[in-house]
Amino acid sequence: MSARRLVVSGDDFGAAREVNAAIVRAHRDGILTSTSLMVTGAAADEAVTLARENPRLAVGLHLVLVQGRPASATSDVPGLVTRAGAFGDAPVFSGLRYAWRYLSETGRAELEREVEAQLAAFAATGLPLAHVDGHLNMHLHPMVLGILIALAPRYGIHAMRVLREDLGAALRHDRRFLARKLLEDAVFRVLAAYATPRLRAAGIRTVDRVYGMHQTGHVDEPYVLALIPRLPVGVSELYCHPSEGRSPALAPYQPGYDQAAELAALLSPRVRAALRSADVELVSYRQL
């Protein structure tokens, strides 16, 4: 076993056929080892079929509480959805709203109902649950995290993504979007500090470092090649958002994303050679 191991994850599996195609291609022909399924995504059924055809691909739940549809009937979670029957599009506003609603018994019950509905929908696919993460990392919301931990024994949650990224290294590589990166780092540093001891107490595993948040939409070959030599000893995760072409379903939420470059990085012979040269072993969440 190598001293440095890397989980390579693709998010939004099931959101669109373009995403499904990219994830399967990156797994079969590239370095991608894991993905996370949006159970209410427009192409979720296709994603499940593809996952069954590729049993070495570790699949987790991509919990959606923003920019998507609920697994529950909208009449069961009226406080979580808009009049159109979908979650809100703004993650910060939604996070604050969930925190406020959690103070009431009704709001807490709705949030618990929806989180469990998505776990149950994943269980119904028959796929082994490799891990849990969240769309826009909403699984780390303190109220959501508590629900997931409480449901972990029932649904077999053994691993979860907790964001731990080196801001300094990210900024040395790319100083664009500086204000956003500084805010991300501040918020998720606090959330990680809150989540880590609670997950450890519950016996839920996490990796040592997670990369990709500060480079969201631009996890391209130069970024990955720069990252590989500085991966620390232990288990790290690199997550990204590959797609075969631009998905109309996701385009409104991913302005400026270069999904083609992200897919190219996952398929790059130079990246694979760099991993071999650095003695980095590719693993999945299932292998933790």
- What tens digit of pLDDT does each residue of 75-84 get? 999 999 998 9
Arithmetic mean of pLDDT over the chain: 95
Residue 46 in this model has a pLDDT that exceeds 90: yes
Q: Are 129 and 152 in contact (CB under 8 A)?
A: no
Check residue 101 and give its pLDDT.
80
Check residue 97 and give its pLDDT.
84
Check residue 246 and give its pLDDT.
83
Length of the chain: 288
Residue 227 in this model has a pLDDT that exceeds 90: yes
Check residue 13 and give its pLDDT.
98
Q: Mean pLDDT across the stretch 2-26? A: 97
User: Which alpha helices (H) appear in 30-57, and where do they start and end?
Assistant: 44-53
Residue 1 in this model has a pLDDT that exceeds 90: no
Residue 235 in this model has a pLDDT that exceeds 90: yes
Q: How far is CA 276 from CA 12, 134, 222, 265, 280, in A?
A: 28, 30, 17, 15, 6
Residue 248 in this model has a pLDDT that exceeds 90: no
- What tens digit of pLDDT does each residue of 186-226 get? 999 999 999 999 999 999 999 999 999 999 999 999 999 99
Distance CA 16, CA 20 (A): 6
Q: Would you place residue 169 in the very low, low, confident or very high pLDDT band (cuts 50, 70, 90)?
A: confident
- What tens digit of pLDDT does each residue of 265-276 get? 999 999 999 999
Helix (H) / strand (E) element for 6: namely strand 4-13
Check residue 91 and give its pLDDT.
85
Burial of 27 (0-12, 13-18, 19+ CB in 10 A): buried
- What tens digit of pLDDT does each residue of 106-145 get? 989 999 999 999 999 999 999 999 999 999 999 999 999 9
Q: Would you place residue 245 in the very low, low, confident or very high pLDDT band (cuts 50, 70, 90)?
A: confident
Intra-chain end-to-end CA distance of the chain, in Å? 12
Q: Are 143 and 115 in contact (CB under 8 A)?
A: no
Please enumerate, as own/partner, the contacts of 197-206 that have beta carbons within 8 Å and a separation of 24 or more: 198/145, 198/146, 198/149, 199/149, 199/160, 199/162, 202/149, 202/152, 203/158, 204/149, 204/152, 204/157, 204/158, 204/159, 204/160, 205/158, 205/159, 205/160, 205/288, 206/159, 206/160, 206/161, 206/162
The token pair that represents 185 in the structure block: 């780092």
Q: Would you place residue 259 in the very low, low, confident or very high pLDDT band (cuts 50, 70, 90)?
A: very high
Residue 94 in this model has a pLDDT that exceeds 90: no
Residue 255 in this model has a pLDDT that exceeds 90: no
Q: What percent of the chain shows pLDDT beyond 90? A: 85
Residue ranges and CATH numbers for the domains of the chain are: 4-287 (3.20.20.370)
The token pair that represents 213 in the structure block: 């948040």
pTM of the model: 0.95
Distance CA 278, CA 281 (A): 9
Distance CA 2, CA 136 (A): 31
Distance CA 64, CA 236 (A): 23
Residue 57 in this model has a pLDDT that exceeds 90: yes
Residue 98 in this model has a pLDDT that exceeds 90: no
Q: Would you place residue 61 in the very low, low, confident or very high pLDDT band (cuts 50, 70, 90)?
A: very high
Give the relative orientation of helices 142-155 and 178-201 as an angle to the nearest 10 degrees: 40
Check residue 168 and give its pLDDT.
87
